[in-house]
Structure 1
Amino acid sequence: MWTRHHKSRIYGRLVVPAIAACFLSYFVYHSIHGDYGLNAAKRFEAHKELNQRRLDKLVAEREALEQRVKRLSDGSLMKDALDERARYALNLLKPDEIVIFDRNL
Structure 2
Amino acid sequence: MRTIQKRRSFVGRLIVPAITATFLSYFAIHAQSGQYGIRAKATLAHRLAERNAELAELTQKREQLERRVQLLHDGTLERDMIDEQARRALNVVNEDEIVILR
Q: Within the alignment, does 1:103 sit opposite 2:89 as a pair?
A: no
Q: Alpha-carbon deviations, 1:13-64, whole Å to 9, x = none?
A: 0011001000001001101110011211221121111101110111011101
- The equivalent of 2:88 in structure 1 is 89
Task: Say if 2:78 is the partner of 1:67.
Answer: no
Query: How big is each residue's C-alpha offset from its partner over 1:53-100, in whole Å with a ceiling of 9 and x where there is no partner?
Result: 11011101110111122123352512xx4443223332445xxx76x7
The aligned residue for residue 23 of structure 2 is: 23
Structure 1: where are the runs of 5+ without partners? none
Q: CA RMSD in A?
A: 2.7
TM-score normalised by length of structure 1: 0.75
The farther-off stretch of 66-75 and 36-45 is 66-75
Identity percentage of aligned residues: 30
Q: Structure 2 regions of 5+ residues with no counterpart?
A: none
The count of aligned residue pairs is 100
